[in-house]
Amino acid sequence: MKLINKAATLLVAGTLGLGLSVASHAAGDAAAGQGKTAMCGACHGADGNSMIPNFPKLAGQGEAYIAKQLHDIRSGARSVPEMTGMTENLSEQDIADIAAYYHAQKVQVGQAKKDLVEHGQELYRAGKPEAGVAACAGCHGANGHGMPGAAFPALSGQHEAYIAKQLKAFRAAGREDETGDRRTNDGETMMMRATAGRLSDNDIKALSSYINGLH
């Protein structure tokens, strides 16, 4: 019995391992990716520096994170009505190439508002221990470059309005008393719902400004 169980476990682990390595190691070709982003540029900017404050910059973003979002948007796990019909025909290779292209671009960093830096920096680096908010830097990096291997997104230079919108969407999804757009694709551990659920509007304002200038 013991042996059979062990074999079954190994088989399952082996299958999972294979699935994961295929999903995360489809090597992307940035040059090929550029040609596949013609349609994306209208909203995200030709080089991934979107000109529209509500639409995310993709320049410099981690490849695994970009790929995860494209899968989530396609499956509906993350609702992005603006991208309806744009992800259905992308192959795994297309997704890897597009991710490699945007990752290779340089993000245009903004500037934090002077009067918000102190509060934003404090929250970003130390969290709000009294309220149980973990430090953003712990997962997104001291300079906002994220943890690419873990698909923790880079935040450095991202538009203020977009950051605020995401934090509010995670907050709404993490609290029953909130209305508005909800974002729930932060996994079973609810890393962002748990974090954003305890941020005030003032906290979100300061963090969004700080992150726009962070690099």
Residues forming contacts to ligand HEC in the complex (CB under 6 A) are 37, 39-40, 42-44, 55-56, 58, 66, 68-70, 80, 82-83, 86, 98, 123, 133-134, 136, 138-140, 152-153, 155, 163, 165-167, 185-186, 191-192, 195, 207
Of the pair 13, 164, the CB lying nearest ligand HEC is at 164
Q: Cα Rg for the chain, rounded, in angstroms? A: 19
Query: C-beta of 208: minimal distance to ligand HEC in Å?
Result: 8
Instruction: Tell the smallest beta-carbon distance from residue 133 to ligand HEC (Å).
Output: 6
Closer residue to ligand HEC (CB): 13 or 72: 72
Kindly report the number of other CB atoms within 10 A of residue 161's CB atom. Answer: 14
Nearer to ligand HEC, 14 or 132 (CB): 132
Buried b (16+ CB within 10 A) or exposed e, 104-118: bbebebbebbeebee
Q: How far is the CB of 213 from ligand HEC (least distance, A)?
A: 13
Shortest distance (Å) from residue 83 CB to ligand HEC: 4
Nearer to ligand HEC (CB atom), residue 37 or residue 177: 37
Residue 58: CA count within 13 A, CB half-sphere = 26
How far is residue 6 CA from its own chain's centroid? 37
16, amino acid identity: L
Nearest distance from C-beta of residue 26 to ligand HEC, angstroms: 15
Kindly give, in sequence order, each residue whose CB lies less than 8 Å from that of residue 155, ignoring residues fewer than 6 positions away: 136, 140, 144, 146, 163, 211, 214
Q: Which of 7, 150 has the CB closer to ligand HEC?
A: 150
Phi, psi of 42 (to 5 degrees): -55, -35
Kindly report the CA angle at 70 between 59 and 168, in degrees rounded to 5?
75
